[in-house]
Structure 1
């Protein structure tokens, strides 16, 4: 049985027919490297302005939180931190940590993970490379 695919295959456009008929390696409508560079240079200011307008509010938010969160502890915060550490040690000794809610336990484990990760990041930065760590 012979099938006819005549109505099922779309006709090729004029540019594609020219490409098929030409002996060149690229279609005649393909942009040259010079055209690509010219287009990139023409569109660069628009792209940079869009990037700047996108990043400006996010950078303001980052700077706000960086000023608040990335400062060393003040002398008034050190005794409070020591008291919190004492509570943690006593809860480990007495077993009262078993009475934490799931949310509190998850939060405590995330904070401990964060401290460990920043410790290793500091070690890697101080050492000058990641070689020698079992990552």
Structure 2
């Protein structure tokens, strides 16, 4: 699989085994509205990648996730509250970080699952979102 980002803020996933057959794009996302500056697969989970954009966002995606309407209905019934997931957010989007200006690059830590190091014009961040670590360990179970 090859992940690539564009200046229009979109990014695509291509299956290189399908190149000879024509369209190798297996997923396309248009969440970001500014140019993609960095994209990298997790070394710990093959379906997870992180993306930065010049819109000052770092996002983490799990391509195995899908919206489950039945599970959402069960959750609403248990909580007896009106809980709605935003319809404009892709179900594959796990995490959004907006704490840096002019994000340039990101890398996953090679030894600590879920840890991401990002660089920007205003410094660097070391992130370890708890929902990412939980998602990675659940996928490896």
TM range (shorter): under 0.3
Q: Greater Rg, structure 1 or structure 2?
A: 1
The structure with the greater share of residues assigned to helix is 1
The structure with the greater share of residues assigned to strand is 2
Relative contact order (C-alpha < 8 Å, sep 6+): which is higher? 2
